[in-house]
Structure 1
Amino acid sequence: MRFLLRFISVMFLVVAVITGVVDAIQTVAADTLELTVLGEAWYSFSPESLNATQAAVQRYVHPLVWDPVIQWVLVQPAVAVFLALSLIFYLLGYKRPKPAGRFAA
């Protein structure tokens, strides 16, 4: 299970690095700060899945989950969201080191 969580963490980290590089290239090209918003990136990648996700969350979870919570996430920079997801999955898959010391077994 830990391997799967760490693997997902690495995949989110790879996506975060890719979106960060794309944002850096766009920033240099435009001479202004350009950050890709997660919702815009998702809509340009697959608008059908975004609409299906919205319908599913509003129908099966609760409409209030979509409107204030997920919409707030969708207006954040994609690199920040993917870095946060990578950190969350890394922490879930983290194995604490065994305590070393005089009385350690």
Structure 2
Amino acid sequence: MVRTVFHFLSLVALVAAIMAGTLDAIESVSSSAVVMTSLGNHWQNLDVVSLTLAEEAFASYISADAWRWAVAPVLAQPAFGVFLVIALLFWMIGYRRPRFAGRFSA
């Protein structure tokens, strides 16, 4: 059951990565230059209030310095890359090795 949840989260992150990559590809073709939009830029275009609330909550519960050192560099990365890494991590968490002796072993 838990593996299914992680595989579903991996699928959602993979779809988000494909959508972000497609948007960047369309914008790159239309501007005749390579465009890679950062995760922070996508988040800001989607909902500015939630980005501000996340920063304030992180600063009040953890530390304002931790936001600058941990979260800000991630938000500066291309969105499709971040979502691909998240999809890979969720898939790896939900992965189960095949049994050594095969399917019908005791």
Tell me, in whole angstroms, the C-alpha distance in 2 between the residues paired with 1:65 and 1:90: 27
| C-alpha deviation, 1:57, in angstroms | 0.7
CA deviations 1:73-93 (Å, max 9, x no partner) are 000000000000000111111
CA distance in 2, matches of 1:89, 1:64: 27
State the match for 2:52 in structure 1.
Answer: 51
The CA distance in 2 between the partners of 1:44 and 1:24, in whole Å, is 17
Percentage of pairs with the same residue: 36
Task: Summarize the alignment of residues 34-73 of structure 1 with structure 2, pairs less than 5 Å apart.
Answer: 34-73=35-74
Root mean square deviation, CA, Å = 1.2
Map 1:1-105; keep pairs closer than 5 Å: 1-100=2-101, 105=106
**Structure 2 spans left out of the alignment, 5+ residues:** none
CA–CA distance in structure 2, aligned partners of residues 52 and 81 of structure 1: 21
The runs of at least 4 consecutive aligned structure 1 residues that moved more than 6 Å come to none
Can you give the 5+ residue segments of structure 1 that lack an aligned partner in the other structure? none
Aligned length: 103
Cα deviation code 1:4-62 (max 9, x no counterpart): 11100000000100111111111111111001111011001000000000011111122
